[in-house]
């Protein structure tokens, strides 16, 4: 049994590609469940700043050590950890999360302490489409794939 706590204002609006950001949030919540023992707590919070929205997914799970924190978003380093019920992972979920958030002109970061839990923070543009933004996320993905 894990307790879920949500805290956000319904009036918050972000400029983002809904399928990719939904995938990011789903992956982060899934990881929080995977690494939070029974009777733990998972919080999903969102707050608006002047030009951005901050989304936080935090848990009271097993936490991540400093050496592993440095590996989380890196494609050049394979990293995976078993969940609290021995669930397996590929190590690709957080790499994709970072890619999707950055394609939406945002940032993702993490803080964590062993035995206390983790907090993943996503910052995205607030409101309507920025005037300087002309390409869609799909077009940026295509451009990135063709340049590699």
**83-116 pLDDT tens trace:** 555 555 556 788 899 999 999 999 999 999 999 9
Q: Which helix (H) or strand (E) holds 44?
A: strand 41-48
DSSP 8-state class, residue 112? E
Q: What is the pLDDT of residue 74?
A: 75
In this prediction, residues 22-26 reach a mean pLDDT of 95
Q: What is the pLDDT of residue 12?
A: 86
**28-47 pLDDT tens trace:** 999 999 889 999 999 999 99
Q: What is the pLDDT of residue 137?
A: 57
Closest CA to 119 of 42, 50, 65, 47: 42
Q: What is the pLDDT of residue 117?
A: 94
Rounded CA separation 143/134 (Å)? 13
Q: What is the pLDDT of residue 120?
A: 96
């Amino acid at each position: 049994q894990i307790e879920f706590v949500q805290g956000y204002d319904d009036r918050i609006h972000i400029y983002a590609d809904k399928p990719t950001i939904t995938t990011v949030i789903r992956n982060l919540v899934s990881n929080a469940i995977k690494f939070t023992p029974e009777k733990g707590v998972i919080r999903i919070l969102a707050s608006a700043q002047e030009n951005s929205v901050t989304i936080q997914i935090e848990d009271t799970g097993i936490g991540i050590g400093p050496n592993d924190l440095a590996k989380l978003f890196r494609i050049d380093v394979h990293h995976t950890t078993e969940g609290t019920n021995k669930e397996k992972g590929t190590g690709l979920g957080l790499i994709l999360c970072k890619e999707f958030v950055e394609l939406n002109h945002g940032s993702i970061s993490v803080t964590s302490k062993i035995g206390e839990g983790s907090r993943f923070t996503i910052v995205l543009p607030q409101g309507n489409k920025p005037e300087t933004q002309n390409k869609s996320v799909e077009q940026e993905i295509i451009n990135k794939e063709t340049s590699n």
